[in-house]
């Protein structure tokens, strides 16, 4: 399979301009399968995921399959994930593969090949990553993203209560861990912009190296979320946050926000009309983020 030619950030910027700023998670956990009247098996997994993609894919800029819910069904579940990623591409949406991987050396390279190289049937347009072995440990992912026009969403500030003990902790230079991650991503996007200018091109309107910033998270002192790349913001809808909360958190960086939601939309299924209505409602709720 041949890969995209435009960088992920440019493609996401165009997709958000055309379709809005919501990324729906494809999270086929047992409770949702049951709510859809499906068995918690591979057949139910496939029916749920592919039906959801068929309805939602044409409406939103991105879909985010959560790999864990496929992996729990073993090799046949991973095969379903590959089919779901192909379905996402056919709808014109971008696939953000939610795997939250983070490792070092050759292992990190192997994960990068699996999730970003178009030769793999598990490749997405972007992948979520954990930087807590050190942001430098993600270098193979950075290289793969640049080679294959892919994107990264790196955990920086998460909404779970346990996250703050790591993300708000202070490193030897006095910065919080979250601030260090955000600063590193800003530097990567700045490098790409400088490379574009040096080659006589205008920099892309949005970089390809993004951060995960929970909509209900708190911002440590000195952390700047204006990184020149996208901000994937879970927490709107079922977790209680709205566009006002997100704008308060990220300030002038709100046009870079891609709001991530899952249960609020998926719980409306399996009826396609109800699923469509829930998705359109989420898009309307997130629209103010684009106002800057």
Sign of CA dihedral 122, 123, 124, 128: positive
- Asked whether the beta carbons of 3 and 144 are under 8 A apart, the reply is no
User: Which of the following is catalytic: 19, 50, 89, 100?
Assistant: 100
Bridge partners (DSSP) listed for residue 101: 129
Residue 100 falls in the annotated catalytic set: yes
C-alpha to C-alpha distances, 62 to 31, 96, 170, 281, nearest whole angstrom:
23, 7, 34, 16
In angstroms, the CA 113 to CA 180 distance is 26
Dihedral pair phi/psi, residue 129, rounded to 5°: -140, 155
Lookup result for tokens 């009309």? 273
Is residue 99 classed exposed, middle or buried when 0-12, 13-18 and 19+ CB atoms within 10 A define those classes? buried
**Which active-site residues does the annotation give?**
100
């Amino acid at each position: 399979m041949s890969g995209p030619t435009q960088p992920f950030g440019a493609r996401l910027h165009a997709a958000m301009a055309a379709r809005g700023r919501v990324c729906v998670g494809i999270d086929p956990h047992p409770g949702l399968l049951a709510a859809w009247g499906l068995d918690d098996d591979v057949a139910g997994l496939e029916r749920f995921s592919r039906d959801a993609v068929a309805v939602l894919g044409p409406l939103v800029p991105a879909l985010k399959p959560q790999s864990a819910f496929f992996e729990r069904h073993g090799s046949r579940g991973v095969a379903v994930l590959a089919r779901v990623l192909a379905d996402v591409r056919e709808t014109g949406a971008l696939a953000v593969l939610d795997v939250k991987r983070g490792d070092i050396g050759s292992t990190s390279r192997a994960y990068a090949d699996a999730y970003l190289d178009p030769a793999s049937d598990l490749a997405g347009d972007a992948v979520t990553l954990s930087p807590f072995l050190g942001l430098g440990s993600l270098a193979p992912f950075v290289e793969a993203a640049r080679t294959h026009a892919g994107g990264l969403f790196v955990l920086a500030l998460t909404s779970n209560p346990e996250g703050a003990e790591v993300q708000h902790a202070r490193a030897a230079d006095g910065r919080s861990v979250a601030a260090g991650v955000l600063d590193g991503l800003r530097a990567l996007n700045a490098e790409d912009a400088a490379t574009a200018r040096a080659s006589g091109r205008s920099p892309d309107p949005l970089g390809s190296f993004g951060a995960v910033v929970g909509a209900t998270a708190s911002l440590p002192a000195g952390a700047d979320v204006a990184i020149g790349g996208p901000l994937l913001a879970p927490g709107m809808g079922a977790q209680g946050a709205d566009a006002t909360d997100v704008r308060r958190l990220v300030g002038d960086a709100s046009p870079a926000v891609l709001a991530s939601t899952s249960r609020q939309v998926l719980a409306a299924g399996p009826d396609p009309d109800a699923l469509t209505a829930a998705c359109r409602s989420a898009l309307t709720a997130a629209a103010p983020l684009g106002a800057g």
